[in-house]
A and B are shown apart, each in its own frame.
Chain A
Amino acid sequence: MAGIGTAHLRSPEEALLRLEDLVVEFRSGRRHTVHAVTGVNLDVLPGETLGLVGESGCGKSTTGKAIMQLPAPTSGRVLFDGKDLTQLSGSALRAMRTRIQMIFQDPISSLNPRRKVEDIVAEGLDIWNTGTQEERDTKVEDMLLTVGLDPAVARGRRPFQFSGGQCQRISIARAVVTEPQLIVCDEPVSALDVSVQAQILNLLEDMKARYGLTMIFIAHDLAVVKNISDRVAVMYLGRLCEVGDPDVLYRQPAHPYTAALLSAIPVADPAVRPEERHTLAGEIPSPLSPPSGCRFRTRCPRADERCRDEVPEMRQVADDQFVACHHPLAPGESLTAVSLNGASV
């Protein structure tokens, strides 16, 4: 799996963001190439939250950064509001970037430790000289209030005086203050405690509703992604496996990889015996030389010759569910423990 195709894309006129055949490769040494993202097609409608999930090394963060042109993708198109960002440069790209903002995983290292919170949040406004100084001050103050910080206390402090959850609130304020249309959140809650995680997830939902944001939410925690997303895309080794409505996709995964990912999640219920669930054997192969055909085939219990020879193409299996697999799971079918344990590494 992990395939190609565009069956899951909606009409280009509707989408706020559309990635077409996105490829990101990095040189490694003199002769090797890291195939980080290979031919990904994705779109996001205005007001939608797209969840991007997968293991480390699946290319989900690289995809998020390629949208921001940080760095620009090796090939493919990134259409934002109809304009191809890969064709923009200099001031045109800079201006475009104010409409897309990013929130990073580690809230403490992504904030400049030497600057005051008010300067961090105001930076985007200052650079673009938005409004008068007073207007900017008021805006920063309102924004800090909105994310749940007391402006009187917070604005003069520096990031180290805050906890991880509060720093993430500052990051959110910084991202939203320039009134972007799209926010790319790269693992925004994975460094936080569960109790704080819930606060930040609720805050992101509030901000989305209040400012009419469109979001791309990158995470490895499937439960978190389901909670916040309207649509979920599962990635493996640089390619898409499955795209769909989370309520459908989680209840009835069609891709063997999605099914394996779901069964690996620890459940807060002692009656579920972890050893009875089917865990995925082995590890993700090297992106230096990804397997031919379907990239998941080396760990897939259903793999056969066709999976080796032919890259699976995205196709529709349910109302809003698309899968790139030659042998998808039928509704109600599950991967058996026996078949997965027999998978080769």
Chain B
Amino acid sequence: MKSDPAVAVRDLPVDTTASHDLDLPAIAPGEVLLEVEDLTTTFSSARGPVRAVRGVSFELRRGRTLGIVGESGSGKSVLSRSIMGLVPSNATRTGHVRFAGTEILDASAKTMRGYWGDQMAMVFQDPMTALNPVLRVEQQITESLHEHIDITKAEARATALQLLESVGIPEPKRRLRMYPHELSGGMRQRIMIAIALACGPQLLFADEPTTALDVTVQAQILDLLQGMQRDRQMAMILVTHDLGVVAGRAHDIAVMYAGRVVEQAPARELFAHVRHPYTEALLRSIPKLDMAKHTRLDAIGGRPPDLVNLPDGCKFAPRCPHAQDRCHVDDPALTADPAMAEHLFACHFPVSGVGVGVTVPVAVEPPSARPDPEVQA
């Protein structure tokens, strides 16, 4: 049932990867595709403004995967929806979102329709509710093809068939005629991916794409996403609550807490030199397979803060074992580690969590750029 996505994509009857509605410059792999600058999203509510995203900045290059990790309410899902412009009417966004050099934060929904599906697409968490239950699989895949590309019905069907094959669905011809309820959870998620990839987007959001799936199916779906990302040189944002999911799949990881990025670094660097106490606490709280049975877990006490009444200072301070007086008044900015410019963290008293609960292997990668602190001093 393993298929070779590379072959399947090249053989699509229609070139779906070109930009169709919009006059956007082509972004080569390795160049910056998405720039997010000081993005905030605030929802108005009866209790007052809910500050779901509070000043997030990052850039994402084509061909790279950014993993966004956080607990429920950390703002990770709102962040990706804010970038795409998929926010309800009670949301206010400020800051900048530039896609291929074009500012899209203030774009109208009509303009954004040119981007959705065609330039950027999203794979949602729950394929059962994200798919339309009364439409056949074929219609759901060809919808965005017809929206963005001048294509005949026969061409669209042939493309849909190829897409199903490329996402590893057996008997694709028969599946095209089926309704979502006739498919298993893993199959539905493969269909979601086929829909998202139909027009060859440059940027793919995957919002908890495997949370509703079994571990074995989860591994299959993550392999598929990773393969597609590599093959098409897409930029991908993989949103999850599970550090294990992003560890081997993302180039860079951003950890969010209470609407802000509290730590961001290349994946290997992050796991090897955890600096933020929250990231460290998250890693410690996960039960690991190599622990003996009945090992007491290091739970994080307390709960995430109320986004309507945020505490002063560092938002993690009330739960942080290392917090001192300063943390409760002065909110630390996201700054680079002096020893490693790519490693950002927002903490006054960073930890030196070397390999927290992670077996750091001896021969990993070509030497990381981090100089030996001993030598430097």
Complex CA gap A163/B244 in Å reads 24
Which 3 residue pairs across A and B have the least CB separation, nearest first? Answer: A266-B244, A198-B299, A198-B285
B296 interfacial by beta-carbon distance below 8 Å: yes
Complex CA gap A136/B245 in Å reads 46
Complex CA gap A202/B358 in Å reads 21
Contact of A250 among B281, B289, B360 (CB under 8 A): B289
B220 interfacial by beta-carbon distance below 8 Å: yes
Q: How far is the CB of A258 from chain B (nearest CB, A)?
A: 12
B293 touches A247 (CB 8 A): yes
What residues of chain B lie closer than 8 Å to A229, measured between beta carbons?
A: 293
In the complex, the number of residue pairs spanning A and B with C-beta atoms less than 8 Å apart equals 160
A268 touches B299 (CB 8 A): no
A6 interfacial by beta-carbon distance below 8 Å: no
Return 7 A-B CB contacts under 8 Å, by A number.
A194-B286, A205-B294, A227-B293, A246-B293, A267-B244, A273-B248, A275-B248
Q: How far is the CB of B89 from chain A (nearest CB, A)?
A: 25
A7 interfacial by beta-carbon distance below 8 Å: no
Complex CA gap A275/B245 in Å reads 12
A69 interfacial by beta-carbon distance below 8 Å: no
A272 touches B247 (CB 8 A): yes
Complex CA gap A226/B247 in Å reads 21
Q: Which of B247, B249, B357, B360 lies at the interface centre, i.e. has the most chain A CB atoms within 10 A of its CB?
A: B247
B294 touches A228 (CB 8 A): yes
Complex CA gap A283/B184 in Å reads 9
A261 interfacial by beta-carbon distance below 8 Å: yes
Contact of A268 among B187, B223, B247, B293 (CB under 8 A): B247
A264 touches B215 (CB 8 A): yes
B residues with a Cβ closer than 8 A to A are 1-2, 71-72, 170, 184-187, 214-220, 222-223, 226, 241-245, 247-249, 267-268, 270-271, 281-283, 285-289, 291-301, 303, 357-361, 364
B71 touches A266 (CB 8 A): no
List the B residue with the shortest CB-CB distance to A222. Answer: B289
A275 touches B226 (CB 8 A): yes
A195 touches B282 (CB 8 A): yes
Contact of B283 among A193, A221, A268, A280 (CB under 8 A): A268
B242 touches A202 (CB 8 A): no
Complex CA gap A26/B82 in Å reads 46
B244 touches A261 (CB 8 A): no
Contact of A201 among B216, B222, B297 (CB under 8 A): B297
What residues of chain B lie closer than 8 Å to A250, measured between beta carbons?
A: 289
List the B residue with the shortest CB-CB distance to A58. Answer: B214
Q: How far is the CB of A207 from chain B (nearest CB, A)?
A: 14
Q: Is the interface of B mostly helix, strand, loop or mixed?
A: loop
Complex CA gap A121/B140 in Å reads 47
A333 interfacial by beta-carbon distance below 8 Å: no
Q: How far is the CB of A173 from chain B (nearest CB, A)?
A: 18
What residues of chain A lie closer than 8 Å to B271, measured between beta carbons?
A: 268-271
Type the 1/0 row for A186-214, where 1 means its CB is closer than 8 Å to any CB of B.
00000001111111011001000000000
> Knowing A201-B287, A201-B297, A345-B170 touch, does A193 contact B215 (C-beta < 8 A)?
no
Complex CA gap A199/B302 in Å reads 10
Type the 1/0 row for A131-170, where 1 means its CB is closer than 8 Å to any CB of B.
0000000000000000000000000000000011100000
Contact of B358 among A227, A269, A282 (CB under 8 A): A269
B219 touches A194 (CB 8 A): no
B220 touches A266 (CB 8 A): no
Contact of A202 among B185, B292, B299 (CB under 8 A): B299
What residues of chain B lie closer than 8 Å to A221, measured between beta carbons?
A: 215, 287
Complex CA gap A279/B364 in Å reads 23
> Knowing A224-B287, A247-B292, A274-B222 touch, does A266 contact B281 (C-beta < 8 A)?
no
Q: How far is the CB of A242 from chain B (nearest CB, A)?
A: 16
What residues of chain B lie closer than 8 Å to A230, measured between beta carbons?
A: 293-294
Complex CA gap A56/B2 in Å reads 22
Q: A231-270: which have CB < 8 Å to B?
A: 245-247, 250, 260-262, 264-270
B287 touches A227 (CB 8 A): yes
Contact of A269 among B285, B301, B359 (CB under 8 A): B359
What residues of chain A lie closer than 8 Å to B292, measured between beta carbons?
A: 247
Complex CA gap A262/B288 in Å reads 11
Q: How far is the CB of B366 from chain A (nearest CB, A)?
A: 13
A123 interfacial by beta-carbon distance below 8 Å: no
B248 touches A266 (CB 8 A): yes
A227 touches B170 (CB 8 A): no
Complex CA gap A81/B85 in Å reads 60
A288 interfacial by beta-carbon distance below 8 Å: no
List the B residue with the shortest CB-CB distance to A224. Answer: B287
Q: How far is the CB of B50 from chain A (nearest CB, A)?
A: 16
Complex CA gap A157/B358 in Å reads 41
What residues of chain B lie closer than 8 Å to A119, measured between beta carbons?
A: none
What residues of chain B lie closer than 8 Å to A197, measured between beta carbons?
A: 285
What residues of chain B lie closer than 8 Å to A163, measured between beta carbons?
A: 303
Q: Which of B184, B270, B357 lies at the interface centre, i.e. has the most chain A CB atoms within 10 A of its CB?
A: B184
> Knowing A56-B185, A266-B242, A269-B358 touch, does A226 contact B293 (C-beta < 8 A)?
yes
Complex CA gap A164/B214 in Å reads 21
What residues of chain B lie closer than 8 Å to A193, measured between beta carbons?
A: 71-72, 241
What residues of chain B lie closer than 8 Å to A280, measured between beta carbons?
A: 216, 219-220
What residues of chain B lie closer than 8 Å to A65, measured between beta carbons?
A: none
Type the 1/0 row for A311-345, where 1 means its CB is closer than 8 Å to any CB of B.
00000000000000000000000000000010001
